[in-house]
Structure 1
Amino acid sequence: LGSEVLDEAADGRRAFRFIRGPVFAQLLMADEINRASPRTQAALLQAMQERKVTVAGEDHDLPRPFHVLATQNPVEQEGTYPLPEAQLDRFLLQIDVDYPSEAAERRMVLVTTGGTEATAPAIADPRLLDQWQRLVRRLPIGDQVVDAILKLVRAARPGSGALPDLDRLLAWGAGPRASQALALAVRAKALLDGRIAPSLDDVRALARPVMRHRIAPSFAARAEGIDADELIRRLLAHAF
């Protein structure tokens, strides 16, 4: 977040000055975030939710737009800390990245081992990106799609009775932020596809990346080889 340092002026007067930390960026990239200490992870909660940080009782606004992009290594767990549920809930999506295709890996090898350094061209500035985000929120969403989102998310909670053995398989379920994230994500997908309204197919397509980090399979479920994606698949079959 940053820290306060004590400055001494030429006349001998002293005052604290806040030095901004790495979180003051439009795109905060945290590689293998589960290697960060719990204290560091907790410090991101206010930044991700309120887009500001508070140090010594004073608020400091973060740049707009502000995004957190984080990775986790699912293989090696030595020296890692599990992310708290409250922090996971602040991430819009969890996207599982598998091994690349042969064509993608071929391009990766050629680009990264050659003598020419690849650069990414800018396609938007902060002002334009902010306009796109506002446009997503203005996109109309039908009652049928909203009902489907609510039915799916509310089914993913212990005690909902959506599945006969759900309470045994689910340790904790999705909260209201899952509904909010899914409502925003389906709007964005519709715009990217050139449509003016989201559909039920968008809900099906985005249910896993929106919900897989917002539910936790129980020990009994994991013992049976049932992960979050399988639970969501069963819930989708119930909701649709």
Structure 2
Amino acid sequence: MDLSTLFLPVRRIEADPMTVAEYEADQWPGTLPPVRQLLREGLDLGPVTVLTGQNGTGKSTVLEALAMAYGMNPEGGSTGAMHVTRPSESSLHEQLKLIRGAAASRKGFFLRAETMHSFYSYLEESRFRTSLHERSHGESILELIQERLPTVRGLWLFDEPESALSMRSCIELVHLMQRAIQNGSQVVISTHSPVLAAFPGAQIYQLSDTGYELVDYDRLELVTGWRSFLADPAGHFSGR
């Protein structure tokens, strides 16, 4: 065993042989090639893992299942958060087994941009008093992370956080997570952002309609696509 993985909250995700036989591969999310590949082959995680791919390929579905299998709320928050607005998650987490580092922390935090408003309301109504609703969306996310950094040493999950962040704020998020990793945490990010995908030292999985594969940063579709657009913005709108 690589000794460096002893301290990773999750070294690997794979199918649970006790339940996966019951999984309906012809029903969503089993219809997604990356999900089928995950159940067939498993997925190795490093200190920083990035999931990229077009809309609908399964990035958020896989991240959500990882969060729930780990014991986190599908709508976000720390391990133990209980808020629910509208349940919409799949049962994929029930088919997964997490291979954990033997000496790793069991704490974690799941930041899901699309449900942060309801999470802030949950905090307001709980013992965790907060003024996050008074901040802009991007400011509130960075403030929330800064608040949690001293207490959450474990697994940090981010589902498309760039939806609320400027480029500068994306860079600040990477800086904050580098501090977290230095203190023993692990990070998994689902993103469309070439800035977040450039997280130093990250292993990057590109999800598609054929499954997923490890891809170098310069070969990512989101990177080549942005470079092409920035080289000729007008051409992309003229149909050339």
TM over 0.5: no
More strand by share: 2
Higher RCO structure, 1 or 2 (CA under 8 Å, sep 6+): 2
Pick the TM interval, shorter chain: under 0.3
TM-score (norm 1): 0.25
